Structure 1
Amino acid sequence: MPGTLTTAEKIRRLPWLLWADLFNSVCALLTVFGSVFVLFLSALGIDKTRIGFILSLLPFCGLVAPFIASTVARIGFRRIFLLFWTGRKLMLALLLLTGVVHTRWGVTASFWWVTGIVFGFALCRAIAETGYYPWIQQIVPNSIRGRFMAFENTVILVASMMVMGAASYILDHVEGLHGFLILIGAGVVSGFACVACYTFLPGGEPVAPNRDEVPALTQMIGAVNDRDFRRFMVSLGVTSFALAFLTPFVPLYLKDEVGLTEGNIVLLTLCSNLSGLVFSFPWGWSSDRFGSKPVMLTGLAMIMLLPVLWFLLPQKSVWSLPVTAIVSFWGGAAWIGWSTGWTRYLFVNAIKEEQSAAYTAVYYSWMGLVNGIGPLLAGRFLDLCSGIHARYLFFNLSAYSAQFGLGLLLLIAGFILLRRIRSDSAVTARSFVGMLVRGRPLAAVESLVRHSLAKDETTRIATTRRMAESRNPLSHDELIASLEDPSFNVRYEAIASIARTTPDPKLTQALLQVLQGSESELCVAAAWALGRLKESTAIEPLREALSSNESTLRAAAARGLAGLQDADSVPRLLQGLSAAEPAAERIAYASALGSLRAGECLETLLLLLNQTRDVTARSELALAVARIVGGEGDYMRLWRGARVDRNTALAHALYALKRNLRAVEGQNSGLETQLEDWAAAFGRGDIVAGSEFIGGFLRSPLARQFADRVTTILEFCVATSCDSANAGDELLILALHVIGEALRRVRRSGPQKQHS
């Protein structure tokens, strides 16, 4: 029974499922599915309407599923599947006699011979797959379904590339029907190997009859009445019909209109398989991580471009094959994304496991109907439009052009319907696509792979940093997981890395949990990081952290609130500044108030600057004062210049004041002459003589137009410069910056008193 299989037991048997599906895919490619079979039917001389009829038999037979679902469940999913899966391989073996039938009795007899074989094959397939889907749903755990599908697709695609490469060679070098019959024979052998592998899989036991059990028909009616399932089936049906209408005759379009040989057409499968090989694991991983719906919609959006690209292919040109190969590569990536998304959504979200037989019967019959109508109508449509041959501008118009246009409209309708189905994650298709283009997605994927393989602490720290540097949301979950790493250093690096990456509410929430944790060092780092992320949801927790018993956390919270530009916190920061005792905490409060341009604390900041001796701390306090005045960029430019060559930087700063001074006082300003002397003094290294510029500006009539805060700062600089113990370069830099800002404002506002 399904309940007797543990997840560990299921995973242990998955290699047999992998081998079985691998052999089955090879069989399908070389027999009745794929471009080989369509080209085989065309080589027999069968017209497009009849080809469409033959192809429609495969899905149409799926309509038997609702009528046999209860019987299949009672006999056993596994038993029925193996019996009829073997039967369908026996039917395929009869295709090997098609050459004899064609030679002796002609095209019509060949058509009916192939039709009978395909009908028998399709009927066995429909009965077998009625048991297959409930059985496989038991075997593959939902937690790894997306990743297993991705790995399985990768293996199958590698094998398919090898098989189709060989098939292309055979069709190019073996004339007539013999090449096709060789491929069909190889497919039949692979099919029997597939059946042998399936016999090693567990599960799928008979479901014992239960008198209290709801009848099968009632269960299927219940499945149809399931609103979410019904909406998904309608949406999937429209999209599947569009694809069934579009894709079966593409090989004939490439042969008739584009001018490719049969071998080249089969060879194009290598391009689509190579694309699937590259993108299979990313699609599967994404569906497990971000949900089925965004992956499904993204893949379908890519498929919607295919009809346009097919229409634009260069026809009967040297560029036909390479351009078609590029389009096939795009189509392979799109198709694997679409199939991974909708298949996972079907098994994980749409089908209820306790009623899987009824749900899969409805699904299988519905898909059989729409997928059968698609090629049937497409073949007839192409024959009816066969008279279309025209040229418009640079484009050749034919029956295939009309088919592509109609198919595109159907795909758009399917996309609109699929957008409305129930989401299985918080990630939308738009945000998922944004993840693929934001920052450096390839670097994010690389760092994720490296992080999953990292073992020692040093490597985990390095990969955590690389994930943040990619600035891509794909790595956000791993960054959050690193916050719980057993190593303290990795956790600390994770906080710093989150602060460097793109903001995300999930990251903010994770940092808030760290902020409220018990590790004081990490709490401090989290408070700092929250200020960098600019998320308003962090404001209230940071305000609460101002009441912490830890002075370092209070200081970090103050800096964080300043980073978030929380002006409403100014009163609490002023209160904290007056109550703080550790010098580092007071400087943190002062710096935060400066960032918030809280002019009411100016005198307190100047007093603290006068009391501070540490050079770095004085520089930070001077910057806080400069921020209150404004023009932080100009201040930092002057500060950097003074670190390289103090005298030259101060002299140039004074010379730079001349333009604004001349605009305010005119050409014959007395201050301008003095400014030349002060600048020359700085240039000679005479700091005492040069620093007289502060008093000179204060004594000039121009000072009456300065704001009160400017005058306060300049008076402080004059008073402090007289005390050699407290004098420093930061005061000269601050004074020059303040005067420069004041002159610019006087110039802009005219000769009236600036606002304080």
Structure 2
Amino acid sequence: MPAVEDPLPPTTEPPELSDEAKLRGLPWQLAQNVLNAVFASLTVFGSVFLLFLDELGLPKTQIGLLLSLMPFAGLLALWSSPVATRLGRRRVFLVCWTARKAVVAGLLLLPWVMDRYGHTAGLMYLTGIVALFSVLRSVAETAWYPWYQEVIPNRLRGRFGANSTVLTTIFTCIAVVVAGRVLKTSDGLDGFLLLIGVGCVIGLVGTAAMIPVPGGAPRPDAGARGHLANMLGCLRDANFVSYLAGFGSMTLGVLSYLTFLPLFLKDRLGLAPGTVVTMETAVMIGSALSALLWGRAADRVGSRPVLMSAAALLLLIPLGWLLLPRQTPHLLLLCGVLYFLHGMAFIGCSMGAGRLLLNGVVPPAQSTAYMALYYAWQGLVGGAAPLLAGALLQAYEPWEGHCAWFALDGHAVLFMLAAVLIGLGWACYARVRPDDRYRTRDVLHALTDRLFHRLR
């Protein structure tokens, strides 16, 4: 493969960490990943928070707007990335990661605000909490991505991601099951507030686990003066632009239907809120059972064959929801299968795309500019998805038709749109350079030959 010239000149970096120092920090990172996943599932991410907003009586457009604040805040990365590099990525991450738990704990006062000052004041208070949380999360994750690239050895990135996925899945699965039981046995907002309070405590413990992790040292020479020019230089990298196109299209497709999928199960399929929350365990089981396979495959044959195979499977999931019969005695089983397959496909895409980004697309010496653009783009498309989905559902809410055994409504429109966007993302990812010597077709050809050889 011919050498590709870097579009940016290298910048001064601190001395590289030894593999021994990196390995010492891996258990602490695993602990943080597990505890943060539990915090997220009990507070402002996943079905619990979506059902919490629905319990407050918010229309879908307002829910979409609130959910879009978190990813849209990622645009702050264009400004905060050089600041975090100059002050120290580790320091900025720990401060903002801790502060966001305190902000989320402010949701515990929401019933008091609504009782004392009214529903409108309560909605403004809720919006303020979500907005402040989103800013802190954006700044923290902008610092975390380059730090994460620094402290994980490339040769272990796939296996570390797989082990992290398995552990986070197990503990998040337990948290989701407990959350479902709590919501089934509680009335109104009481169960949601209990889960949020417990989640904040767990999140603080997870942040403390990151203190022993090395790296992320300050770089006083990293200023904002040349940052814009560096980012413009990144956009001249055709490989990076192809990656962003694939990531953006696939993210928009998945989130456009996945954001409101719990409400689809509750409102259109008639499942109880506790059952909807518990259904997420099927996603986690699918992720856990396939993560080790995806991770080992990525370390062995490269990231792109894993990414392309998982994305092809992911394309089938919204089509499955579209064709799902809504009146069937096997509804729970079919929903569980689709959630399970989504878990398998999504974790394969996440691990493949993440490893490809860090091992093959982003030069470590220019990670500040590259990761700032990546995170800002992630925020832009991630914020657009719930807005698009909420607007479409609101527009098609009074309209419903039938074709054969499946219904045609706003959710059906989202499922069809998602399939198109995921297919477009797959095509864009196909243009990204492999990070290893194997191409997807070579891997599939080798697997097919091996399979036929064993059958003879």
Which residue, out of 281, 298, 315, partners 1:304? 315
Using the alignment, how far apart are the partners of 1:261 and 1:436 within structure 2?
Answer: 43
How do 1:109-508 residues align onto structure 2 when only pairs under 5 Å count? 109-209=121-221, 215-433=226-444, 439=450, 471=453
2:82·2:222 contact (CA, 8 Å) conserved in 1?
A: no
Tell which has more relative contact order, 1 or 2 (C-alpha 8 A, sep 6+): 2
Structure 2 equivalent of residue 61 of structure 1? 73
Which residue, out of 3, 7, 15, partners 2:27? 15
State the secondary structure of the residue aligned to 1:208: coil
2:43·2:196 contact (CA, 8 Å) conserved in 1?
A: yes
In the superposition, relative to structure 1, how do residues 288 and 162 fare at CA in structure 2: closer, same or farther (>3 Å)? Answer: same
Amino acid in the other structure paired with 1:138: E
Write out per-residue CA displacement over residues 479-532 of structure 1, whole angstroms, 9 at most, x where no aligned residue.
xxxxxxxxxxxxxxxxxxxxxx99xxxxxxxxxxxxxxxxxxxxxxxxxxxxxx
Write out per-residue CA displacement over residues 273-298 of structure 1, whole angstroms, 9 at most, x where no aligned residue.
11111111000001111111111111
1:297·1:419 contact (CA, 8 Å) conserved in 2?
A: yes
The alpha-carbon deviation at position 101 of structure 1 amounts to 3.1
Using the alignment, how far apart are the partners of 1:434 and 1:26 within structure 2?
Answer: 40
State the secondary structure of the residue aligned to 1:151: helix
Write out per-residue CA displacement over residues 670-714 of structure 1, whole angstroms, 9 at most, x where no aligned residue.
xxxxxxxxxxxxxxxxxxxxxxxxxxxxxxxxxxxxxxxxxxxxx
Using the alignment, how far apart are the partners of 1:10 and 1:210 within structure 2?
Answer: 23
Amino acid in the other structure paired with 1:425: D
Q: Alignment length, in residue pairs?
A: 444
In the superposition, relative to structure 1, how do residues 148 and 259 fare at CA in structure 2: closer, same or farther (>3 Å)? Answer: same
Amino acid in the other structure paired with 2:323: L
In the superposition, relative to structure 1, how do residues 315 and 143 fare at CA in structure 2: closer, same or farther (>3 Å)? Answer: same
The alpha-carbon deviation at position 120 of structure 1 amounts to 0.1
TM-score for the superposition, normalised by structure 2: 0.93
The alpha-carbon deviation at position 406 of structure 1 amounts to 1.4
Structure 1 equivalent of residue 5 of structure 2? none
| Residue 86, structure 1, aligned to residue 98, structure 2 | yes
The alpha-carbon deviation at position 97 of structure 1 amounts to 1.5
Using the alignment, how far apart are the partners of 2:447 and 2:121 within structure 1?
Answer: 53
Write out per-residue CA displacement over residues 529-551 of structure 1, whole angstroms, 9 at most, x where no aligned residue.
xxxxxxxxxxxxxxxxxxxxxxx
The alpha-carbon deviation at position 103 of structure 1 amounts to 4.0
Using the alignment, how far apart are the partners of 2:309 and 2:184 within structure 1?
Answer: 36
In the superposition, relative to structure 1, how do residues 433 and 263 fare at CA in structure 2: closer, same or farther (>3 Å)? Answer: farther
Amino acid in the other structure paired with 1:204: G
1:93·1:188 contact (CA, 8 Å) conserved in 2?
A: yes
The alpha-carbon deviation at position 129 of structure 1 amounts to 1.2
Amino acid in the other structure paired with 1:184: I
TM-score for the superposition, normalised by structure 1: 0.57
* Structure 1 unaligned regions, length at least 5: 441-469, 473-500, 503-756
Which residue, out of 26, 29, 43, partners 2:41? 29
The alpha-carbon deviation at position 68 of structure 1 amounts to 2.2
Write out per-residue CA displacement over residues 585-617 of structure 1, whole angstroms, 9 at most, x where no aligned residue.
xxxxxxxxxxxxxxxxxxxxxxxxxxxxxxxxx
Moved more, 109-118 or 195-204: 109-118
State the secondary structure of the residue aligned to 2:128: helix
State the secondary structure of the residue aligned to 1:26: helix
Amino acid in the other structure paired with 1:53: L
State the secondary structure of the residue aligned to 2:433: coil
Using the alignment, how far apart are the partners of 1:173 and 1:106 within structure 2?
Answer: 27
In the superposition, relative to structure 1, how do residues 106 and 388 fare at CA in structure 2: closer, same or farther (>3 Å)? Answer: farther
In the superposition, relative to structure 1, how do residues 91 and 305 fare at CA in structure 2: closer, same or farther (>3 Å)? Answer: same
1:10·1:140 contact (CA, 8 Å) conserved in 2?
A: yes
| Residue 99, structure 1, aligned to residue 111, structure 2 | yes
2:283·2:342 contact (CA, 8 Å) conserved in 1?
A: yes
1:10·1:141 contact (CA, 8 Å) conserved in 2?
A: yes
Using the alignment, how far apart are the partners of 1:435 and 1:111 within structure 2?
Answer: 57
How do 1:63-78 residues align onto structure 2 when only pairs under 5 Å count? 63-78=75-90
In the superposition, relative to structure 1, how do residues 317 and 98 fare at CA in structure 2: closer, same or farther (>3 Å)? Answer: farther
Write out per-residue CA displacement over residues 353-379 of structure 1, whole angstroms, 9 at most, x where no aligned residue.
011111111111111111111111110
2:287·2:344 contact (CA, 8 Å) conserved in 1?
A: yes
Moved more, 188-197 or 427-436: 427-436
State the secondary structure of the residue aligned to 1:304: helix
The alpha-carbon deviation at position 2 of structure 1 amounts to 4.8
Amino acid in the other structure paired with 1:125: R
2:324·2:406 contact (CA, 8 Å) conserved in 1?
A: no
1:53·1:375 contact (CA, 8 Å) conserved in 2?
A: yes
How do 1:499-538 residues align onto structure 2 when only pairs under 5 Å count? none
Amino acid in the other structure paired with 1:423: P
The alpha-carbon deviation at position 26 of structure 1 amounts to 0.7
The alpha-carbon deviation at position 91 of structure 1 amounts to 0.8
The alpha-carbon deviation at position 307 of structure 1 amounts to 1.0
Identity, in percent, stands at: 37
The alpha-carbon deviation at position 184 of structure 1 amounts to 1.0
The alpha-carbon deviation at position 439 of structure 1 amounts to 4.9
| Residue 45, structure 1, aligned to residue 57, structure 2 | yes
In the superposition, relative to structure 1, how do residues 182 and 210 fare at CA in structure 2: closer, same or farther (>3 Å)? Answer: closer
In the superposition, relative to structure 1, how do residues 160 and 437 fare at CA in structure 2: closer, same or farther (>3 Å)? Answer: farther
State the secondary structure of the residue aligned to 2:215: coil
Using the alignment, how far apart are the partners of 1:332 and 1:365 within structure 2?
Answer: 25
Amino acid in the other structure paired with 2:94: L
* Structure 2 unaligned regions, length at least 5: 1-12
1:46·1:107 contact (CA, 8 Å) conserved in 2?
A: no
2:156·2:299 contact (CA, 8 Å) conserved in 1?
A: yes
Using the alignment, how far apart are the partners of 1:210 and 1:408 within structure 2?
Answer: 42
Using the alignment, how far apart are the partners of 1:107 and 1:232 within structure 2?
Answer: 44
Using the alignment, how far apart are the partners of 1:364 and 1:94 within structure 2?
Answer: 27
Using the alignment, how far apart are the partners of 1:317 and 1:42 within structure 2?
Answer: 26
Amino acid in the other structure paired with 1:222: G
The alpha-carbon deviation at position 312 of structure 1 amounts to 2.4
2:97·2:136 contact (CA, 8 Å) conserved in 1?
A: yes
Using the alignment, how far apart are the partners of 1:253 and 1:428 within structure 2?
Answer: 38
The root-mean-square deviation of aligned C-alpha atoms, in Å, is 2.0
The alpha-carbon deviation at position 178 of structure 1 amounts to 1.0
Using the alignment, how far apart are the partners of 1:432 and 1:103 within structure 2?
Answer: 61
Amino acid in the other structure paired with 1:5: L
2:163·2:291 contact (CA, 8 Å) conserved in 1?
A: yes
Structure 2 equivalent of residue 523 of structure 1? none
Amino acid in the other structure paired with 1:407: A
The alpha-carbon deviation at position 108 of structure 1 amounts to 3.4
Using the alignment, how far apart are the partners of 2:114 and 2:29 within structure 1?
Answer: 38
The alpha-carbon deviation at position 105 of structure 1 amounts to 4.7
State the secondary structure of the residue aligned to 2:408: strand
